[in-house]
Amino acid sequence: MNEQKDLSLLLRSAGKNRWLALNEAETEIVAESKNIDEVIEQAHRAGVNDPILIWSPKEWTELVA
């Protein structure tokens, strides 16, 4: 079973309105860019071959489930 991770603290430190690339362990943001191809290239240069990509919106909102 997959364990859910709370990425809120990590994502709050990131830039807004751009793509983020996280390492495979989802513990570090390794690249940021408004261009998805560029963020993938930056992640690869940082040694992350299979980055996890997330769009960082202009504002984060709370989700109640």
pLDDT tens for residues 19-49?
A: 999 999 999 999 999 999 999 999 999 999 9
pTM of the model: 0.82
Burial tier of 31 (Cβ tally within 10 Å: 0-12, 13-18, 19+) = buried
51's tokens: 């980055």
Question: Span 47-56, mean pLDDT?
Answer: 96
Range of the domain at 29: 8-56
pLDDT surpassing 70 at residue 2: no
Residue 2 is assigned to a structural domain of this protein: no
The β-bridge partners of 14 are none
Which of 22, 5, 23, 27 has the alpha carbon at shortest distance from 56? 22
Q: State the total domains in the chain.
A: 1
How far is Cα 44 from Cα 47, in angstroms, rounded to an integer?
5
Residue 51 is assigned to a structural domain of this protein: yes
